[in-house]
Amino acid sequence: MRHRVLPGGSLEADVEQMQLGAGILQKGNYGMAVRADGAWPRGAITVGLIVSAPESTTVNGVRCGKGSVQLYSEACDLSYRAPPGTAWMAYCVDRERFQTLAQTLNGMPLPVPERGLMTYHLGPVAAQQILSPLNSLLLLARGQRIQRTNDPVVRNLEDELHLALAQAVQAGGIKSEYSLSRRPARCHALMRRAEEFLRAFPSDAFSLESLARATGASGRMLEYHFRRQYGITPVAWNRSMKLNEAHADLKRLRPGDRRISDIATRWGFSHFGRFAREYRRLFGESPSQTLQRS
């Protein structure tokens, strides 16, 4: 996953990944607004849980609140926006193993979508039944108590997790939606076109009219979707995108390879003092400090 910092919140983040007995557990806590892009692995089932969030997160165009569970298709592309204060977990396990366990424990396999993801909006009891074994597995992994894949404690906790997930997904009356149903899919495609256009002309001044012509959407529609997806306007997103790309360039360089001003110019910043101020505001350090740590 690639993470990009968006305006808002404090510059604090904690992201972990741990190998368990059967699957891989990932977790994240964000003090700032974050955009993450990537894809889940092929041949595996991935289940996500929004542990806490002050407002809805957005996953592939679908708004997901606290306590919601996301069931992803194999190799699903992921575009995720989290507001400040969001905490999440994700569990990834071999598809055949998971479905065999779901069949054994609950009498039927998990209804994994063929594409995109399905979001389940759970009640507090069902969410806690999933979160409890996840937290126990996390504590074991942090304490380095998971030494082998056949550890009976780990196996029992993962079985408990599989059962809770299967029961939650298969329970009746749960509001759910596909991320690639018509409306979210159109929104997701529009945002992709807008972002690709803005990345293609990094040194150009921002123009909402040009962006509207390139995407075939009105300026008002673009304003609405950027605010809904990322919590900021198109011009603010464009600014943060350029700062994130400059940050990535600086992290890849070694001192003496290239001047900071060259990178700033490449991403459309002609006023270097303003670039340095905006950079520090977003990343909590100066461009030269990033370069020194690279």
**pLDDT-derived band of residue 88, with 50, 70 and 90 as boundaries?**
very high
Average pLDDT, the chain: 83
Percent residues over pLDDT 90 in the chain: 23
Rounded mean pLDDT, 108-118: 82
Per-residue model confidence (pLDDT) at position 143: 67
Per-residue model confidence (pLDDT) at position 165: 79
Bigger pLDDT: 86 or 113?
Answer: 86
**45 bridge partner residues:** 93
Per-residue model confidence (pLDDT) at position 54: 82
Residue 179 has pLDDT above 50, yes or no: no
Does the 182-293 domain belong in CATH 1.10.10.60? yes
Poorest-pLDDT segment among 41-45, 77-81, 108-112, 127-131: 108-112
Sign, CA torsion 92/14/117/109: positive
Among the ranges 21-30, 97-106, 279-288, which has the highest mean pLDDT value?
279-288
Q: Round to whole Å and give the CA distance between 106 and 177.
A: 23
Cβ distance 178 to 143 under 8 Å?
A: no
Per-residue model confidence (pLDDT) at position 183: 62
Does the 2-178 domain belong in CATH 2.60.120.280? yes
Residue 18 has pLDDT above 90, yes or no: no
* Tens-digit pLDDT profile for residues 236-272: 999 999 999 999 999 888 766 678 899 999 999 989 9
Q: Round to whole Å and give the CA distance between 51 and 196.
A: 31
Per-residue model confidence (pLDDT) at position 216: 93
Per-residue model confidence (pLDDT) at position 222: 94
**Domain edges within the chain:** 2-178, 182-293
Q: For tokens 């290239």, name the residue.
A: 258
* DSSP string computed for 191-245: HHHHHHHHHH-TTSPP-HHHHHHHHT--HHHHHHHHHHHHSS-HHHHHHHHHHHH
